[in-house]
Amino acid sequence: KAGVTQTPRYLIKTRGQQVTLSCSPISGHRSVSWYQQTPGQGLQFLFEYFSETQRNKGNFPGRFSGRQFSNSRSEMNVSTLELGDSALYLCASSNSIGVNTEAFFGQGTRLTVV
C-alpha cells in the first residue's frame, strides 16, 4: 500500500509569507505527527493529531499551526515566515496513538525561506 505522501517536496518562500504543507497518511492510519528537522536543532516535534483532534503539541511559537481532516489528511501552516524556519518538515503516520506505536515517515517537504 502507498506510504506517507507529503506535498510539495520542495518549496521556496520569502520571509514574511505564509506556507501550507500537506500530508496524506497511510490508508487506515488515523494519527499524524509533524516534525521539523534542521542541522542545528535536529528533529523536533511540532504536533500530533488523532481523529481530527490535536493530542500533543511541541514547543513552537503560535505561527506554527496544523489541522487534520476527516479523511486523516493533515496540513500544517507557518505564518510570517522567518529565515530560521528553513528546514525539512517530516510527517509521520501511525494506526493508533501510544508509546509503542510505529511511526511511518514521509520523505518530507524541504522549505527554504529567503
Partner 1 sequence: GDSVTQMEGPVTLSEEAFLTINCTYTATGYPSLFWYVQYPGEGLQLLLKATKADDKGSNKGFEATYRKETTSFHLEKGSVQVSDSAVYFCALSDKGTSGSRLTFGEGTQLTVNP
Q: In which residue are the cell numbers 503539541 written?
A: 57
**Residue 97 binds partner 1 (CB under 8 A):** yes
Residue closer to partner 1 (CB basis): 75 or 97: 97
Residue closer to partner 1 (CB basis): 14 or 59: 59
The grid coordinates of residue 35 equal 516534525
**Residue 1 binds partner 1 (CB under 8 A):** no
Q: Report residue 77 CA to chain centroid gap.
A: 9
Q: How many residues bind partner 1, per CB under 8 A? A: 28
Contact pick of 22, 45, 65, 86 for partner 1 (by CB under 8 A)? 45
Distance CA 25, CA 23 (A): 6
Nearest to 92 by CA among 9, 30, 11: 30
Contacts to partner 1 by CB under 8 A: 4, 31, 33, 35, 42-45, 48, 50, 55-56, 58, 90, 92, 94, 97-108
